[in-house]
Amino acid sequence: MSDMQLKKYAGYTDFPGPVVTVVMDGMGIGPADESNAIHVAYTPQLDELAAEPLAMQLKAHGTAVGMPSDDDMGNSEVGHNALGAGRVFAQGAKLVNAAIRTGAIFTGKAWSEILSRTAQGGTLHLIGMISDGNVHSHIDHLYAILDRAAADGIKRLRVHGLLDGRDVGEKSGLSFFEPLEQKLAELSTGGRDYRIASGGGRMITTMDRYNADWRVVERGWQAHVLGQGRPFASATEAIRTYYAENPDITDQYMESFVIVADGKPVGTIENGDAVVLFNFRGDRAIELSRAFEEADFAEFDRRRVPEVFYAGMMQYDGDANIPRHYLVEPPAIDHTLGQYLCAAGISSFAISETQKFGHVTYFWNGNNSGYIDEKLEKYVEIPSDRIAFDLRPWMKAAEITDQVVDAIRSGRYKFIRLNYANGDMVGHTGIPIAIRIAVETVDMCLTRLLKAVKQAKGVAVITADHGNADCMWTEKKGVRSPMVAHTKNPVPFIIKDYSGANNFSPAKVENPGLGNIAATLCNLLGFEAPAGYDPSLITLRRE
């Protein structure tokens, strides 16, 4: 494609080493106090980097990454979209909000088929996370579907609700499920029967990602589809019981449950029903979608596979067509950095462990699976531990570093990108000692990696996709509460140039954010930024 050609950057001098981009997932810039794991951890390498002349701060939340407002935290998916796309696209919640506002969500083929199924006696099942975290879902979206279902005459509806405790307060489930039960009761008039049918914590039930632990999806299938799980009379009774039995339990790790009446589940999924997964974010929605749609599915024994119409809130993987039906069109991201670099013949290497592998590949490449050009690219996934992250906060950072050092020394790749998942995945646990170890692990690995970049006479770029480890708790009236969600703090952006070939200085960019990084990487690789990209954060002095 002629429009994918990059222009050479005037005055640029080539150098032998690679450009290595490190995404320190979940490591933002927080206050200099003991709530900030990055501040209290031993991080000599990060401390040294912070003093670099090409060290700056970037926005990584809200409108800077395509979210509806600056009240919205960023997340890894929209962050990596912006990193790889070079500009900001309307994302998840913003797209859904617009579709609800215009009514477009209810005028497409998917909603029409749902109405057809339910008019013939089928039940509408709504599966998704019950919270206002606005990262995977938003309860307002569920309420909009409930109201429209009632208005369109759907008689029988079941909600299969997943507790969050990760993007919102760790034990906030009742604040969402109590009003939901009340709303469903209010809608259950005029012959309508709307209830919660099953649920569970997001990290235990349904919402696995990247094939890390299919048992999570299997538990969801058993609860939502088969009606198998610990029985309760209501969701709020289930939550209160679990809290009482284990005061240390948090919502995200709550066991699955099934609502029963007269000894029978109230909402199994049967032939002729319609099912909507109302989460808008893709990574933790793909596996359940596969379980509903794949005829030759073999990840676990589904036992019974009802004939249903299944739709996602959005299409979670456009390249793999998962799912086939969806309510809201996803953002169309084109002209990604990866496409430009492949067109320019730049060889690249991308690596992370399972928990973030899709971020340096699928999300970086504009929500597209697979290689852009397999001859020029190599993607490596390190299998993540299948254990609570606070128990092994070092995760797979050392293994990732080993392979990146080898890739640098091989001389085969001009552009290398990697993601250290520690700050985010361990940050979500809310365990301070584990989060500090996670941060120190990243710092230690950076030291090793930068030595290899220096030996190769390359350039290192260090940044983050959003904050998390930079706030371990909040304090109110002397009482500390774990902070397990992402922060809205800025993130670091640091260039460490070991090549000695070019004299870059900071550019004047208004409100810089993650979308500016792709243009910057183009400059570091010797190209002008493509038309339409957010401006570069650096400029080349040509004295």
Q: What is the set of active-site residues?
A: 76
Helix-then-strand count for the chain, H and E: 16, 20
Alpha helices in 68-138 (DSSP H): 76-85, 92-102, 109-119
Residue 212 contacts by C-beta under 8 Å, 6 or more apart in sequence? Answer: 354, 355, 384, 386
CB 76 within 8 A of CB 359: yes
- Classify the C-alpha dihedral 358-361-362-364 as positive or negative: positive
3-class DSSP state for residue 378?
strand
CB 114 within 8 A of CB 311: yes
3-class DSSP state for residue 227?
coil
> Which of the 8 DSSP states describes residue 362?
I
> Which of the 8 DSSP states describes residue 225?
I
Amino acid, single-letter form, for residue 20: V
Measured in degrees and rounded to the nearest 5, phi and psi for residue 181 equal -60, -40
Residue 451 contacts by C-beta under 8 Å, 6 or more apart in sequence? Answer: none
H/E element, 363: none
- Other CB atoms within 10 Å distance of the CB of residue 192: 15
What is the spatial distance between Cα 116 and Cα 333, in angstroms, rounded to a whole number? 33
Short-list 332, 300, 336, 298, CA closest to 318: 332
Residue whose structure tokens are 């600056």: 70
Residue 289 contacts by C-beta under 8 Å, 6 or more apart in sequence? Answer: 277, 310, 312, 316, 322, 323
> Which of the 8 DSSP states describes residue 513?
B
What is the spatial distance between Cα 482 and Cα 150, in angstroms, rounded to a whole number? 38
CB 260 within 8 A of CB 237: no
CB 232 within 8 A of CB 258: yes
H/E element, 127: strand 124-129
What is the spatial distance between Cα 526 and Cα 130, in angstroms, rounded to a whole number? 47
Q: Measured between alpha carbons, how far apart are the two ends of the chain, in Å?
A: 35
Which residues lie across from 507 on neighbouring strands?
none
